Chains A and B, each alone.
Chain A
Amino acid sequence: MSDEGHKKKPVSTEPVVAGLVAEFSDPHEVLHAAERVRDAGYRKWDVYSPFPLHGIDDIMRRPTILPWFSAIGAVLGLTTALLLQWWTNAVDYPIQVSGKQPFAFPASMPIDFELTVLFTAFATFFSIILTSGLPKLYNPWLMNDRFRKGVTNDKVCIAIDASDPKFSRSKTADLLRSLHPAAVEEVMIVPESAALPAPLKIAAVVVLIVALVPPILIVRKRATLTTTPRIHLVQDMDFQPKFKPQSLNPFFADLLSFRPNIPGTVARGDLQLDQRFFDGIDPSAPVAAISNVAYQEGEKKPEEEKKPEPEKKPEAAPANPAPAAPPGAPAAAPVDNTPYTKEFPAEILEQLKTNPGDVMKRGQQRFNIYCATCHGLEGVGDGLVSRRAAQLEQPTWVKPLSLHDQPVQEQPVGKLFRTITHGVRKMPGYGSQITPADRWAIVLYIKALQRAKNASASDVPASELEKLQ
């Protein structure tokens, strides 16, 4: 083995025959000539033309496995698309929307189509490069002047490779001459010149090594531990010219970027003088009671947290007026001394005078949006969330009160308003989500619901009553 290797090392400088080239001026003659070459049984031959020759494919009958690569690419693409969508939609993270199946085959078709086309294109492209032996750095036919000038201009050439088993210098040349070509020439090459030049080899090695640098950098970055982003790809997004809360700002003397309120000022829209409208408190109550409320409010509804539950128990005891209850009432329920307002604020009353239907409609709409999910559309506590929680037997769930329970019925409007604002038990406060005017509209609607629940036949207008009967 080593002996043979040693022999091969010094490449011969003697020219050898690479093959035969026949040049044709008339493209139609090439078609006939190609037929003859094919029928003579040659396999390593090709036709070179500066323009497409229609019909030459059928004559040359070159078997190609390219369609099979394309087909494999298509199948791979389709499988990938189906698996990807099925797994992400139905297995890994199924989302259920209006009872639909998580994975529906017809809905996946656009992506199936796209990936099939993509994979087919890739498979076809790369297999063309592979099967045609690209990149081809050396072509022996280009050593021949006639071939080089003719094929890149207006001539068509048939070239038969010397490595073909049927090739013979004299017989093949005779065959080609019998095809009426413009010329037949032997192509001689020096095997040494076919070898890759040394500088090119060095350049290839250098390029390969340089190509390794980015992946190595990435691997290195991945292996290090850091709390900050390793690479800032989008600089102007990562470093924005602005101050974040709790960060330093050298511009101000106190170095705070977050500016405190200026003493003695109120921000726009924050001046809430009308206590009845904004807090649901009767402003005519004694000052002590009012300041007490302010204190309790700062504590965040400690009174409301505890109070309604005991209130529920003495339900049997009739008429237990919760607001401003006289001391010495049944049980030892903590007395709620908050001076709730018992009437709607002037703003709401004004609107009720001009267009009462609007406020009621607004209240109904807001109620159905914010409240009905738990309290139910009629306020009996059968909202979807509540029913679902009961179905799941959630231990932490506190069923919402029916708005038609006696104690709730007797609550002054101010208390209802404050419950909506600050929440109670499990119910969160909606003060930040619903404007005060809308909260009052909801209170109005709740009052209407309560009234409707206790309606009698005499409440129905006579004309409507007739229709019902």
Chain B
Amino acid sequence: MHTATNTIQIDRQQSLADIPLAVRSLGFPVGIAALVVSFLLSYFTMSDGQGLAYFLNAYLIAFMFVLSISLGCLFLVFVTLLTRAGWSVGMRRVAEMIAQGVLPLMILFLPVALSVLMGSSALFPWNDPSLVHDSELLQKKSGYLNSGFFFIRYLVYSAVFIGLARYYFRTSLKQDSSGDPELTLQMERTSTWGAYLFAGSLTFAAVDWMMSLQPEWFSTIFGVYYFAGSAVASLAFMIIVLMTLQSRGLLRGVVNVEHFHDLGKLMFGFTCFWAYIAFSQYFLIWYANIPEETRFYLVRQGGQELETGWPYVSLALIAGCFVLPFVGLMSRTIKRNRTTLFFWAIFILGMRYVDMYWLIRPNYQPNPEAILGPTFGLVDILCLIGIFFIWLGSIVWIASNRPIVAISDPRLPESLAFKNI
């Protein structure tokens, strides 16, 4: 292991350009091909128009999962600036780069947004006029849940996410060449109101894109739930990316065991935070006995005469998203060991996908008579591969030829010398 000291010389030329061009340009063709195959597969093999609904559902799961990584990294960028954290400066540029992923993601959401605008209710039942006509609750909500406003909100979220992500990346790059410490202060000041914009947009985006899949249902904590998950996902992804880059010779000496230890601690902490939020949501709804609220968990946990297999997914979620990582990450030794930390990062990231699956898939119910159990197949895998590759490809494309460390940040020496007690 490397031990960082103040004397370490950083290679100012370090960037993703070291990765061969062939690998870098692999993302787009693979991703687009996977998405097209996935769409055709579901559209032509599934009967009576259910193909589109299934494809969109799988697409949304993959989309929300990948989006949570980018948004979580954006959160890491501004929250470390906001707290004037020193330890994280060495890795902040990587987080800034991953946050750039919101740009392709907002374009990738366009098919969903446009389908809603054109009146499709394959994904969002509130877009079905006959359903709204029958439900007083949906009529009351239609002032918010309508296709036009939905599309406008999508544009607003896109503007906020992309605007914030681009702002930090650009300002930070400007500092690379000018070395002006004033830019750090400027980013800190922006983070104050930027945090409010981010929190509001993320909350409403989660409500629009996931909670409204079951429009009668509501949970006031839902935005925080998605946020907690995205923080966990981004920390896990950061660990994976930093270790991968180091294995390719990048960032050596900039990020060391002390930084990984801190990332592990944060991942552990946010895992507990997610569990706390998830349990708060569950407990209040389960004991409040309000039918519109309880039905969310009735499907997922199994009610009186309901054995669908969803209860097992729910239990797996409790175990995989909280109990196992909680026990596994508790020890200091595990967080300071590359292999074990890498394992838990992979595991936790995988469980983030399961969480999104658990939130979104139960809303795909082609048959109103019987509740469909968990389904998973090639369409889901191809959707995940597709969105992930396009996203990663775009990040590499945006980030290549840019320094991978914020070399002129005034707090970089502090980050290099950082040591846990």
Chain A interface (Cβ < 8 Å from any Cβ of B): 96-101, 104-107, 109-110
Contacts and interface: CB of A to CB of B under 8 A. Distances in A.
B304 A106 contact: no
A110 B282 CA distance: 12
B282 A107 contact: yes
B288 to A, nearest CB: 10
Interface in B253-296: 279, 282-283, 286-287, 289, 291, 294
A109 to B, nearest CB: 7
Given A98-B298, A99-B294, A107-B286, 14 more contacts: A96-B304, A97-B289, A98-B289, A98-B291, A100-B289, A100-B297, A100-B303, A101-B303, A101-B304, A106-B283, A106-B318, A107-B282, A107-B287, A109-B279
28 contacts: A97-B289, A98-B289, A99-B294, A99-B298, A99-B303, A99-B304, A99-B306, A100-B286, A100-B289, A100-B294, A100-B297, A100-B298, A100-B303, A100-B304, A101-B301, A101-B302, A101-B303, A101-B304, A104-B286, A106-B279, A106-B282, A106-B286, A106-B301, A106-B318, A107-B282, A107-B283, A107-B286, A109-B279
A459 to B, nearest CB: 24
Contacts of B286: 100, 104, 106-107
B324 interface: no
A97 B289 CA distance: 7
Interface in B285-333: 286-287, 289, 291, 294, 297-298, 301-304, 306, 314-315, 318
Interface of B: 279, 282-283, 286-287, 289, 291, 294, 297-298, 301-304, 306, 314-315, 318
A330 to B, nearest CB: 48
Contacts of A100: 286, 289, 294, 297-298, 303-304
Nearest to B283: A107
The SS class assigned to the B binding surface is helix
Given A106-B318, A107-B287, A98 B301 contact: no
The SS class assigned to the A binding surface is loop
B50 to A, nearest CB: 27
A101 B304 CA distance: 5
Nearest to A100: B303
Contacts of A98: 289, 291, 294, 298
A101 B300 CA distance: 12
A101 B298 CA distance: 9
Contacts of B306: 99
A313 to B, nearest CB: 42
A55 to B, nearest CB: 17
Nearest to B318: A106
B312 to A, nearest CB: 12
A47 B289 CA distance: 60
A98 B288 CA distance: 11
A104 B279 contact: no
Instruction: Across the A-B interface, give the 4 residue pairs with the lowest CB-CB distance, nearest first.
Output: A99-B303, A99-B304, A107-B286, A98-B291
Contacts of B318: 106
A370 to B, nearest CB: 22
Nearest to B282: A106
Nearest to B293: A98
B306 to A, nearest CB: 8
Contacts of A107: 282-283, 286-287
Nearest to A107: B286
Nearest to B290: A98
Nearest to B314: A106
Given A97-B289, A100-B286, A100-B294, A105 B303 contact: no
B156 to A, nearest CB: 35
Nearest to B286: A107
A161 B126 CA distance: 81
A96 B298 CA distance: 13
Nearest to A110: B283
B330 to A, nearest CB: 15
A242 to B, nearest CB: 38
B80 to A, nearest CB: 33
A134 B287 CA distance: 46
Contacts of A97: 289
Contacts of A101: 301-304
Contacts of B279: 106, 109
A75 to B, nearest CB: 15
A105 B291 contact: no
Contacts of B294: 98-100
Nearest to A106: B282
Contacts of A96: 304
B17 to A, nearest CB: 49
A105 B294 CA distance: 15
Nearest to B294: A98
A123 B287 CA distance: 32
Contacts of B283: 106-107, 110
A86 to B, nearest CB: 15
A113 to B, nearest CB: 10
A104 B304 contact: no
A101 B286 CA distance: 10
Contacts of A106: 279, 282-283, 286, 301, 314, 318
B315 A105 contact: yes
Contacts of A99: 294, 298, 303-304, 306
Nearest to A96: B304
A91 B297 CA distance: 22
